[in-house]
Amino acid sequence: LSELGMANSYHSEDLSFFMWAGLADDFWSRSAQDRRASHPPSDLSVLNGTAPSDLANALARCHTKVVALDGLERLFWPVYHVSPGAKVIRLDWRALGDHAGSASEWHPRLQALDTAASLVSSSQHLLPWSLLLGPLALPLLGHDFAPMLFLGGPTLAQVLDPLTGLFIASRHSHRVGSRRRGGLAIDPFGADYDEFYEGVQRTVPAEQLLEWDMSQQRWEDLCGFLDIKPCPKSGPIVRRVSTLSLEESIPAYFFLALPVWLLLHWLHLCIFGPVLSFIFRSALRPTYAAAATTLAAAATTLRRVLLGLASHKWSFWCRLIFVVLVPFLFDMTELWKHVEDRGIPCQHPALPGNKSGVKVVVAGLAKTGTRSLARALYEIGLQHSYHSEELNFHVWSHIYHAYWDKQKLLPGDGEDNITSTMVENFVREPFAVTAQLFGPEALLFATPPDLLARKLSECRVDAVAFDGMEALFWPTYHVSPDVKVISLNWRSYAEYSKSHESFMALLSLTLILVGIVMYSMHFLPWTVLLFYLDPLAGSPVEKMMREGGPPVTQHYPLFLAWYHTATNTRRILMHWSVGLGIHMPSEVDYDDYFDRVRRVVPKENLLEWDMKRNTWEDLCKFVGVEECARTGHLPRAISILNFERDSPICFWGRIPFHLLLHRINWAILGAVISVVSSVRTRVASLVTR
């Protein structure tokens, strides 16, 4: 339903996080009933004590349009009765035995995975770290969660960035996990199961009820029931997994949260290791002397090995972990963004008539040859031939940050303006192809076509391949009159899917390994040095930002490589991970994507490209380049370590510099530790006296 444009399409996790947890907290805070008398506190009491008007107001404040009540089924009737005219989709397609069997297999697996995830994330609750994460630290880093909480979105599966996800994770246990045990679920093995579905069939008018069968019905049936025309999707609906669903949907925040949780575990061992040792030696020794000595020795050894604490000094391994991990966290949290990223936009005059000036767009998905086409177009004379790296760096990141900076508003400020802008853009064909109104899609819907055209024209973009940002294809196409389209539909779905899956795993690994070396520049804002050295070298970085080129994927000298590495996460990687990339989950979706291109684009402006069959001559003829400088088939451009492969001298030349920064960071950390230790020793001596 979210993909059909239903803003704030809530699953039970979203309903708990944004709405129900707040109602429960309000109820228990004002109730004379002792909350501790119920173990755990029952949400049935909250349900019985919540007035329908309060429930309706809470749903309205969250702008809730769709609710699926998995695990909170007893909320169905209260929500239904305060939602006049609401349409109901009844999911009774599984027989009771099939559903019960599936539930009996799924629940133990879910509980095991939840337990494992809870053990890792529990470090944030031993001390009040969430207080530091939310109200104190993140606003200092330029993050404000008021818009998200005020608007009731984006939903948890559509978070904007890793830090928002980390904020959600810090409150997930209270707002979501405890609600699962609150007593609002209907047991599939109990008598309530059949009664629930029969009650729905008896009560809901036939014209407002859709009996849905996941095994037979299609997107078209759903659009017809909801009166959505035209239907942006077709074919069967792909099944989504519920186990580790958030980690699968938004791995960006999970990979940020995991190091943070492990770092907190590490700090706890630092803090509580001596306490445990004291307990083992003092409290247990009278009764279990031998065991106490063994446990104390084990605790001391563990503390020295894992924490690097020996005689109150940081050992080699402790300092190494800190020097490597902290720059990674500083980069992910954009701690130095105000001094590392100048953010100069392209400064060519905008073209008249709200035209982007783009000559060629590549309609292709990741691992279908997008990088090879972008490079080929550059080599035949389209000097500003962008792959998604340049599109993010020069165009989309400026639109993105400008938009969300304006949306950091407090409750009550600007709500009508935001809503009207989204609604206006929702009915426009260029933006109706990506029908989600929150998360990165909110920005896509709220971006007027003339703004996108102006930003593209100011960079004089000649060609674009949208690898990782495929949702921008149609908006770009519609602001580029007479643009030529190269469709990369030459691979079968099986070949595409296999290549994509292996590529993502390898890409993640290489980013981590290269990042261990390159992140040394984020321990302190070393990039500031570049802004003093850049003018001495003829200002290549400033010229690149103002001119919108040359593309970094084609031209990667030393100073551009330095700035690219410093701003890569903020201006490129984060935009790949927040929802505008399209991965086709089924062959039907894959075929539909390219069928739409074939239907919409005029034949004279469309070239269906086959990497195995087509040649340089075909490309030059289609684009209109009379003298083709190359012949034969296009070479394959590698996407793994592409900068390192294309510019090996620049890459290996920078390695000593980044290792030197690691050494300097090491020395600075050692100096700080020495000063702190000296101060602590002096304070201790004064206290002793």
Name residues whose C-beta falls within 8 Å of residue 351's C-beta, 6 or more positions apart in sequence. 357, 453, 457
Interval 32-86: pLDDT, tens: 544 444 444 577 778 887 888 888 888 887 778 888 888 888 888 889 988 888 9
The reply to whether 74 and 200 lie within a common domain is: yes
Half-sphere exposure of 196 (CA within 13 A, CB side): 21
Task: Let me know if residue 303 belongs to a domain.
Answer: no
Q: What is the per-residue pLDDT for 53?
A: 86
Task: Let me know if residue 280 belongs to a domain.
Answer: no
Paired sense of beta strands 484-487 and 606-608, if any: parallel
Q: Domain boundary residue among 222, 247, 272? A: 247
Interval 521-545: pLDDT, tens: 888 888 888 888 888 888 899 999 9
Task: Let me know if residue 642 belongs to a domain.
Answer: yes
Name residues whose C-beta falls within 8 Å of residue 21's C-beta, 6 or more positions apart in sequence. 174, 175, 176, 179
Q: Which residues of the chain have pLDDT under 70?
A: 7, 31-41, 94-114, 130-154, 156-167, 170, 173, 179-181, 188-191, 240-257, 273-319, 333, 404-446, 505, 577-579, 680, 684, 687-689
Task: Let me know if residue 89 belongs to a domain.
Answer: yes
Name residues whose C-beta falls within 8 Å of residue 484's C-beta, 6 or more positions apart in sequence. 359, 360, 361, 605, 606, 607, 622, 623
Give which of 265, 396, 269, 262 is closest to 329, Cα–Cα. 262
Task: Let me know if residue 316 belongs to a domain.
Answer: no
Query: What is the Cα–Cα distance from 669 to 321, expressed in whole angstroms?
Result: 12
DSSP states along 257-318: HHHHHHHHHHHHHHHHHHHHHHHHHHTSTTT-HHHHHHHHHHHHHHHHHHH-EETTEE-HHH
Q: Give me 333's structure tokens.
A: 């949290």
Count CB atoms within 10 A of the CB of residue 666.
17
CATH number assigned to the domain comprising residue 547: 3.40.50
Q: What is the per-residue pLDDT for 166?
A: 66
Query: What is the Cα–Cα distance from 587 to 590, expressed in whole angstroms?
Result: 5
Count CB atoms within 10 A of the CB of residue 538.
10
Give which of 100, 548, 191 is closest to 344, Cα–Cα. 548
DSSP states along 582-606: ----SHHHHHHHHHHHHHHS-GGGE
Task: Let me know if residue 167 belongs to a domain.
Answer: no
The reply to whether 457 and 581 lie within a common domain is: yes
Q: What is the per-residue pLDDT for 427?
A: 29
Indicate the number of domains in the chain.
2
CB 420 within 8 A of CB 445: no
DSSP states along 153-190: -S-GGG-SSHHHHHHHHHHHIIIIIHHHTSS-SPPTTS
Q: Domain boundary residue among 612, 631, 646? A: 646
How wide is the angle at C-alpha 589 spanned by C-alphas 587 and 591, nearest 5°?
70
How wide is the angle at C-alpha 643 spanned by C-alphas 637 and 644, nearest 5°?
105
Query: What is the Cα–Cα distance from 8 to 14, expressed in whole angstroms?
Result: 9
DSSP states along 79-118: HHHTSTT--EEE---S-HHHHHHHHHHHHHHHHHHHHHHH
Paired sense of beta strands 209-211 and 484-487, if any: unpaired
Name residues whose C-beta falls within 8 Å of residue 179's C-beta, 6 or more positions apart in sequence. 12, 16, 20, 21, 24, 43, 71, 72
Q: What is the per-residue pLDDT for 375?
A: 92
Query: What is the Cα–Cα distance from 584 to 598, expressed in whole angstroms?
Result: 17
Name residues whose C-beta falls within 8 Å of residue 101's C-beta, 6 or more positions apart in sequence. none
The reply to whether 71 and 185 lie within a common domain is: yes
CB 263 within 8 A of CB 325: yes
The reply to whether 508 and 373 lie within a common domain is: yes
Q: Give me 578's structure tokens.
A: 């927040």
Residue range(s) defining the domain that contains residue 228:
9-128+173-247
Amino acid at 118: S
Task: Let me know if residue 544 belongs to a domain.
Answer: yes
Q: 170 to each of 17, 121, 122, 132, 142, how far by Cα in Å?
A: 12, 8, 9, 11, 18
> Is the backbone peptide bond immediately before 475 cis, with ω within 30 degrees of 0?
no
Task: Let me know if residue 658 belongs to a domain.
Answer: no
Query: What is the Cα–Cα distance from 317 to 307, expressed in whole angstroms?
Result: 8
Determine the distance from the C-alpha atom of residue 225 to the mean position of all C-alpha atoms in its chain, rounded to a whole number: 31
Give which of 484, 437, 475, 430 is closest to 456, Cα–Cα. 475
The reply to whether 398 and 515 lie within a common domain is: yes
The residue with tokens 């830090």 is 163
Q: What is the per-residue pLDDT for 544?
A: 92
Q: What is the per-residue pLDDT for 406?
A: 66
The reply to whether 218 and 77 lie within a common domain is: yes
